[in-house]
Structure 1
């Protein structure tokens, strides 16, 4: 397969209109690396295996690992309230302010409406300033009752690390993970990334208007690395080298209401799924025009990391994983949920209305009796994406699939209710409440 992937990677980036990509995988103890395409279509610089790509939210597994190291050292527990470490911490709900725990943050169960992308400057106090700005964040759902992806929670977790250690999150990351594992191509700040070949994100086929996210997003998504370094990080989770008990991070903490997007459950940092009866831990990351995916199969020791800088990145990394895991471990990556073979009749009128959370406004309506979804980005990143409208196709009473105009893959939306009957839609790993 190693030789075949050297040929397949250029074919796959062409198929999925990806400017450049890099791939590393570990199988039976041997590391394999590949790269294809260009890092930047404006400069034509070649993508190489030692090029740094933005791994986005895969960073969250690193931040969760740093917290678990603090737990193993006896400095806190998963159920320590955040306010115990950060007495100044505030969100809009006073009870959540007092009771939200480290476990809630790391498993995306805090309910804090967490897509606040806020530039608090380039200074070493940027994470501290960001946490202060969280005081106005409302609840997306009540504490602990379901799962909804929360970027803000991981920046708060990064601030917990800073308070416990008296150091910047970037420095804690370097001292507790990067240096112990001997990672030479893993950095967080652009002035360090510039010393290497670095990928530029692409949006609509052209270089992105900005290179990266604001520094305050660091603990949630600012690591840049070559895929081989990311594989080494995951290898330490499977084989040891960082935590005394890395399996504690794989234990499911919550079922994901929409299991068709990323996986069935969330652990501590990791997404937890099952393929052909084998546990798979994973995480993905998206920044401005860049995307990365990391998968690991504890039973076989196989680890795959793929990174891309534009085009149909999600479909591309899924195609890479589908081919690799079938060949390496005989595992079938679950296919993307699509329309049923026989149309399903569902009364979708009950789901019509407005759903809102920080960063998104979702409207469900009926057109000639068919349900339609309108998604509008709001907030700081709204200018980077236009509103999209898609027809919904029913799979069952609560599950619908749709395609956006710019993607070859189906996406899924699951309508569900909390125990108190409150209506929600789960889309893109986030629970969005019905507000009108």
Structure 2
């Protein structure tokens, strides 16, 4: 049966209201046709309405686009996934000389480089911003040896974007247009604010529904999260990953599992080339989400069904909203039961929490874990560049098993998963929000 887009516009509005989302845009490709609807406002202060051609920040969904750019160069024979970055850019450095020599493009695109990589450094608006950013990576330390684990790394994708610049001879933004936007006919996909402002553009909102004071991220982190697009353009990009020859000769290569995730409860069980990989109700789901300053995006691709869904919002309880939307939409389209988010067990689990208490640190974040009642309390503290950009969070953790806990901050309805890892060599890690954070004391 053909989907009733008016029904979905109504459901989108109801879900947005329930999750306190100011504005949302939905597009999905199903059975050979694209469907679009939009609700709410782009800006709570101005009241400008969301339209289907409005642009939202898609945040880290950008990383799949950057991975695709690199894979286009791989298919063109310009480089391989296992080429060391330093072989392409001899000036590339990180803090560990051995890591500098051994980090490859595959490590960057699968978040397995070990680089402590939440470096949100503004190196200016000039065309040299990525070059200057990569120079600043010389001070980044390793959270683990190269290839040893998985930890979400924004810096790795900026470095990958700089590789694209080196191999194409043009700035990343222009390479993006030439490699992806032009071939796919994407007219509503841009990176720089002066281009985005030619369209209706969403602004982010905080937890109280007020417009955030900063609109977007600096140009220097572009390959990790700067794309702004309408939902239909994001869907068109997702469709290209189901169609050999639309962009890549073998797009399926990107959705082959490369690494198991140490915390498989937060969006996927495995990571491919740029993509998060999971299985819902026996069907493969290839996805990526993105968060910027008060905006959120989700892209889901179902290869077995040929269905692609993009949801873009500008505030509110984003995780709750996207889960409820995916649950309703995929149940109707394909009778798929989307797994429920992880939650506390019905019967309490007794765990010795003492080995997990302490302080865990990485670039931009310090995490304090203390005993609290029968469980733990986790408190995040932004540090360095992230002070003023990220907010502190406090989670009272409940044990699910011997190393897995769940908690949620005040006002959240979805539980976050936290996994503790103690390695035979004595190193201890906390896996939370996609990152591996080593214990410092």
Give the structure-2-normalised TM-score.
0.97
**Cα deviation digits, residues 157-184 of structure 1 (max 9, x gap):** 0000101111000011000100000001
How far is the alpha carbon of 1:380 from its aligned partner?
Answer: 2.0
**C-alpha spacing 1:242/1:418, structure 2 compared with 1 (3 Å):** farther
Correspondence 1:314 to 2:319:
yes
| Count of aligned positions | 436
| Secondary structure at the counterpart of residue 289 of structure 2 | strand
Measure, in 1, the Cα distance between the counterparts of 2:392 and 2:285.
Answer: 34
Measure, in 2, the Cα distance between the counterparts of 1:21 and 1:422.
Answer: 43
Aligned match of 2:214: 210
Structure 1 unmatched runs, 5+: none
Contact in 2 for aligned 1:145/1:418 (Cα 8 Å): no
Measure, in 2, the Cα distance between the counterparts of 1:34 and 1:148.
Answer: 35
Note the 1:47-196 alignment, pairs <5 A. Answer: 47-196=50-199
Measure, in 1, the Cα distance between the counterparts of 2:417 and 2:440.
Answer: 21
Aligned match of 1:352: 357
Correspondence 1:326 to 2:331:
yes
How far is the alpha carbon of 1:369 from its aligned partner?
Answer: 4.4
How far is the alpha carbon of 1:125 from its aligned partner?
Answer: 0.4
Aligned match of 1:335: 340
Measure, in 1, the Cα distance between the counterparts of 2:48 and 2:411.
Answer: 26
Contact in 1 for aligned 2:63/2:223 (Cα 8 Å): yes
Correspondence 1:414 to 2:425:
no
**C-alpha spacing 1:421/1:327, structure 2 compared with 1 (3 Å):** farther
How far is the alpha carbon of 1:381 from its aligned partner?
Answer: 2.6
How far is the alpha carbon of 1:370 from its aligned partner?
Answer: 3.1
Measure, in 2, the Cα distance between the counterparts of 1:369 and 1:354.
Answer: 19
Contact in 1 for aligned 2:375/2:399 (Cα 8 Å): no
Contact in 2 for aligned 1:307/1:317 (Cα 8 Å): no
**Cα deviation digits, residues 362-387 of structure 1 (max 9, x gap):** 11111344311111112223213442
Measure, in 2, the Cα distance between the counterparts of 1:349 and 1:60.
Answer: 38
Note the 1:346-385 alignment, pairs <5 A. Answer: 346-385=351-390
Structure 2 unmatched runs, 5+: none
Measure, in 2, the Cα distance between the counterparts of 1:388 and 1:55.
Answer: 23
Contact in 1 for aligned 2:57/2:227 (Cα 8 Å): yes
Correspondence 1:12 to 2:15:
yes
How far is the alpha carbon of 1:330 from its aligned partner?
Answer: 1.2
**Cα deviation digits, residues 103-150 of structure 1 (max 9, x gap):** 000000000000000000000000000000000000011110110000
